[in-house]
Each structure stands twice: as structure tokens, then as C-alpha cells.
Amino acid sequence: MRKRFNARGVVWLYPGTAGWHFLTVPKVTSRTIKKTFGAMARGWGSLPVIVTIGKIEWKTSIFPDSKAGAYLLPLKAVVRKKVGINRGDTVSYVLEIRSAHASE
């Protein structure tokens, strides 16, 4: 079973005061992830992942967004600063779906 997905996306800022930055997982990739791993979903339909951007790797979760018809990947500020990512940048990344029972 394939667990790693290569993707690209444009960093966007969630409207509001929190300043959350996200990448939208491509729709085709999101459909494959949901079909293959949707049964592992946790609260709010989230799936645990390991993300790699450049040489930085971290654990987080992706969240389904019905409006976008895709999963959303939150980008931690510490990661954005280390890699030099800003809103509007196009970023290549790797998602690896983790076991829902793996420790955070």
C-alpha cells in the first residue's frame, strides 16, 4: 500500500486573526488519501502525517475541507521560518500517512 505522496501547492493564509498558513493537498491526491486511508480518520476527519519540505520533517495532521474538496496541511511557523516559506510561495512537499496509533 502506497503511503507517501509527492505534492506541490501555494501557501495561503487562513482569513482571520490567528495567522495560520496552509497548503491545500491536490484534489486527486486528496481523493486517493481519503479512499485509501479514510477509515483511519480521527477527530474532524483528520489524518496523522509526516511532512517533509526540503530537509525539514515534522509530524502533524491533515484536515478535510469540504469547500476545497481536499485536505488542508497546516504549516507551523517554526517550519516556515526554518525553510523560508512565505504566503504565496509554491512549495514541493512529501506527505507520509502515519498509523493513527503512532505517538505524536
The answer to whether 72 touches 24, Cβ cutoff 8 Å, is yes
- Over residues 48-96, the pLDDT tens digits come to 999 999 999 999 999 999 999 999 999 999 999 999 999 999 999 999 9
Task: Supply angle C-alpha 81, 85, 90, rounded to 5.
Answer: 165
In whole angstroms, give the CA distance from residue 101 to residue 58: 17
- Flag whether pLDDT at 103 surpasses 50: no
In whole angstroms, give the CA distance from residue 69 to residue 55: 29
- Over residues 12-58, the pLDDT tens digits come to 999 877 789 999 999 999 999 999 999 999 989 999 999 999 999 99
The answer to whether 67 touches 17, Cβ cutoff 8 Å, is no
Task: Supply angle C-alpha 49, 51, 56, rounded to 5.
Answer: 145
Q: Give the pLDDT confidence score for residue 45 in this predicted structure.
A: 93
Q: Which domains does the chain have, with CATH numbers?
A: 4-97 (2.40.30.100)
